[in-house]
Every structure is written in structure tokens, then in C-alpha cells.
Structure 1
Amino acid sequence: MSKWGWIVVGGGVLFASLLTLWQTEQPRRVQAKNVFATKKIVVGTTGDYKPFTYLNRKTNEYEGFDIEVIRSFAKTTGIDVEFVPTTWPTLSADLASGKFDMVVGGVTKNIEREIIGDFTSSYLSFQKTPLVRKEDAKRLASIEQINRPDVTIGLNPGGTNEQFVRKTFTKANIVMYEQNLDIPQAVASGEVDVMITDTVEAIHYEALDKRLAAPRIQEKWIPAEKSYLVRESEGDVVDVFNLWMQSHEGQEEMEQLKEKWQVAS
């Protein structure tokens, strides 16, 4: 957790001033190899979680809100960024083993991930929600309505959505999909009845496909926060990223990208 949050109360301080102050306060590093010394950060991402991260197969480039945030941060701090693939089941192990320095792409904060790394400040609050066919928007809009033997949930392995589904919907049928991107289409075609995801992804697909709906549920599901997970040995990244995100430039950039990618809870 950054100790510099008190500096930016009011949100009007320039990032350059904050970075200079941070640099003067740092002790001499025994270990010279970090992302600011090497001028490069390696970032893991699943590439399957719109609008946060998506691997465009035509360009073979990653796109999405989180991808652009990290590119903007890297440009501001003068470092190069390399994106490498990971999966939801292997995300934590890949980070702990040093495959990359941080992981981004709709990552939800939880204790298991905090144990193996450090989270930056949150950039979005949300809750879990269903994505259904438009004609089922009223029929499948609560835990009680979905948690039935005649309801089938499409699920991607390894993330917090799987944890929530297996704990909450014990009576529903579950069909596993290796690719998270395949589940909205499976819902739309009637292959499954429901996808359990976060409000941002559900709203994204509701706008993208007229066959789909993100019911405005009346009950409280699990609230959560999106953040970026950084390898423990790269604590400087957390501090500097938080400084950037809380600075005037960082706040402005985040808001512009949220509007561009329609990232809202």
C-alpha cells in the first residue's frame, strides 16, 4: 500500500512533482534489477475479458481499457511494456514464478491473490451479475431464480466468477468453457442460460448483442473491486503506479479511457 496517498488529496498535483519527491525518499537499492532500472515492464494478461483485455486475432495485439492504462503509465514513466499471455487458472502461479512483473485485465481483488503479490489502488467498484437472453431478463434476475436444476450456467475456470458460482449456485447445472469469450455467444444462442460475470462485462455484451440483457438485479450480490496485481519484488511499481493514478494527469487519463471503453459499474 502506497504511503503517498495523503500528498494528492484534492487530485491536483502533477505527476512529475510526485515522482521527484518519491525518488528523493527512496533508499539506495541493493537489488538494481527492477522495472525502472531495466526500463521495461512485463505484463501478463488473459486477453479474453472485454472490455478490459482482448487479443485481437487480426493484429495479434492486445486491446482494452487495462491495456491502454498500462501503455499510458509506461509512456509517462519512460519504460517499455511487453504483454505476455496467461490464463485465469495459472495467473497467480505465473506471477509468483516471475513469468511477468504484473497482471492486468479485469483482475478482481481477493485474499488469495494478495498473498502472492501486491495490489495497486482500486480503479473500479462493481458486483457480480448475470448475463442472460433478453427474453429471460425477468425470469433469471435473482440467485433464487438461477439456482435451479433446470438452469444452466456457462463458466470459465480459474477466476473469482468460478469461486462465486460454485459457492452460490449449487443446484444449477454448470458447463465449463475454456475461453471466456465463448460464453456470451453460448448464452445468446441458447446453449446455456446464464453467464455470471461482473457488471462491466455484462453491460458491455448487452450493448454489443441485442439478444442479450444484463438484468438490473434488486438484491445485493458480492461487491468487489478491480485492480492491478504486482509481483512482491516489484513494490516500487505499486508506489509509482498509485502516484500516477492519483495525480492530475493520471486521473484525467483514467477518466478518458473509462469513457472510451464504457467502463462503469
Structure 2
Amino acid sequence: MLGQHTRARLQRITALVAGWTAVAVVAIPATAQEPGRLPATDELRVCTPGDYPPYSVGDGAGGYVGIDIELIRGLADVLHRPIRFIPVTWATLATDFAPQQCDVAVGGISDLPARRGFSDFSISYGIDGKAPITRRASGADYATIAQINQPGVRVIANRGGTNEAFARKNFPDAQLTLWNDNLTLFDEIDQGRVDVFVTDSVEGRYRVRSHPGLQVLHPERPFDSFRKVFLLKQNDPVLATTVNAWLATQLATGAVDHSFARWIGDDAPISGN
């Protein structure tokens, strides 16, 4: 099950959108309500970095799995629209989104003001925050920002996303390494080549399951707090209403809660991704 802190926050989100859901669903235009009228070639173009489990990660067979992927596949099924996944990177998300003709971008994306310059946002489906990932042998040596922001501390961050921005802002005195491959980044900590990685607590809780030598410090008390959203094509009210109604329904019925529990709960399977 989800921790009490995360569950309480998701319940507050559900309460906010539950009353809105019925209105939003009614507001969806007829073409969205009656998917049989949509052309078979009307693809839902979904852009994703695909390297941020448990939100979105490659499945090893050319596709993607994760919490965001389950949600967007469910929406596409309801609309009877085929999905076309388009790989993008965190570093180029701002410049790729419009040229790649993304309808939606998913994959653990945080609500940042800078991203509103090139996309619209969905309603939030979750709240997360940054927490340190270290070796178990390090104990609580890197539990605070002050402990991490020291000249001898080796910090790592994936290039181009909120983790890099957080590290640059909060650890100017530490030794920062930027890593291009988020999927191999945890191996650098595991092998002792760096000391700490500060990332979303949900990702940390997922990844340490396949790295038993690592730990997430105080995931229930992250350094900050931010909303998770889908990026939406700008100035498309039909798309926005459809996506928001779908997410609101999934929140109100507990489907989002169950998805998080499947991926990071106590009984979640250990994955090598």
C-alpha cells in the first residue's frame, strides 16, 4: 500500500476533482464521446523520455510501461485511438514538444512554470518531492541539504530535468556529475563512484527495490513538493477537456492510487529496469 503521507495527499486531490468530474465528462465534445466517429488514423501522439520509472520506462521490446503509460493507454482505449509513442529527452523536451507534434507528454513530468511556455498542463494526478538516494553503508550521512552541499561530496544528477536544476541550486559546493542515462545512474551510486542522487521519492522507492545496497532517505519528508502532470498540446480545449476528465475519473475511482501501489507498494514486484 502507499504510505500514509502519499495516500493523504492523493485523497485530497481526489476530493478536489470528484465534484468536477461529472461536469468535465459532459463537456467533452461529441467526437470524443463517440470514438467510433474518429478516423482510424487519428493517432494519439504521446511523447515520453521513457527513462523515469515507475512513471515511464522502456519495456525492452520497443514499448513502454509505467504509471503514466497505464493511464494514457486507458485513455486511448476509451477513445479508440491508436497510440504512437515518440521518444524525447529531458534536456530537449522544450524544443522537441511542438516540432514532434506531441498531443501529450508523459513520464513523471513536474509542474514547472517554464514548461507552460511550450505546453498546456493537465490536472495533477499526484504529488511528489525530492529525496536523497545513497548507499545503505552511508547511513544518514547525506540526509540534509547542508550535509550534501559539501566540497567532498560527490553528487550525481540526470541531465536536463528537475533533478539537475535542484542539484545546481542546492549543492553549489558539492562535486556535481551530470549523467546522460537515467537508467544506469543508480549503478554509479551502487558502485561507490558517487555518493548521493536527489530525485523524486517515488522513483527512488521504485529503483532501490532492484538495488538492495541503496536506500531512500526520508521519502515521507521530501525536500520539496510538486505536482505531477501531463503536458498537453497548446490551445486544444477538446484534448484538454478529454484528458482532464479521464484523469479526474481515475483519481475519483482510486485507479491512480492502485497503480502507484502496484509499482511502489510493499508487494510491488522487483524490476531490473
TM-score normalised by length of structure 1: 0.84
**How many matched pairs?**
246
User: Which residue in 1 is equivalent to 2:3?
Assistant: none
* 2: CA distance, partners of 1:239 / 1:9: 15
Is the Cα contact below 8 Å between 2:129 and 2:200 reproduced in 1?
yes
> Cα deviation per residue 1:206-252 (whole Å; 9 max; x = unaligned)?
22221000011797622111110011043322211111222269734
The separation in 2 between residues aligned to 1:139 and 1:256, in whole angstroms, is 34
Q: Which runs of 5+ in 2 are unaligned?
A: 1-14, 33-37, 267-273
Which deviates the most, 84-93 or 216-225? 216-225
- How far did 1:154 drift? 1.2
| Alignment map for 1:60-209 (pairs within 5 Å) | 60-209=62-211
RMSD of equivalent CA atoms: 2.8
Post-superposition shift, 1:114? 1.1
In the TM superposition, what is the alpha-carbon distance from 1:63 to its structure 2 partner? 1.2
Choose the corresponding residue for 2:56, options 53, 56, 62. 53
- 1:9 equivalent to 2:30? Answer no
Kept in 2: contact 1:131–1:195 (CA 8 A): yes
Q: Tell me whether 1:23 sits opposite 2:26 in the alignment.
A: no
CA distance in 1, matches of 2:162, 2:147: 21
Partners in 1 of 2:20 and 2:265 — Cα distance?
23
TM-score, scaled relative to structure 2: 0.81
Letter in 1 for 2:264: Q
Identical columns (%): 28
Residues 201 and 219 in structure 2, CA contact (< 8 A), matched pair in contact too: no
CA distance in 2, matches of 1:6, 1:210: 37
Deviation at 1:50, TM superposition (A): 0.9
Distance 1:163 1:84 in 2: 24
Letter in 1 for 2:19: V
Specify the alignment match of 1:235 in structure 2: 237
The structural deviation recorded for 1:136 is 1.5
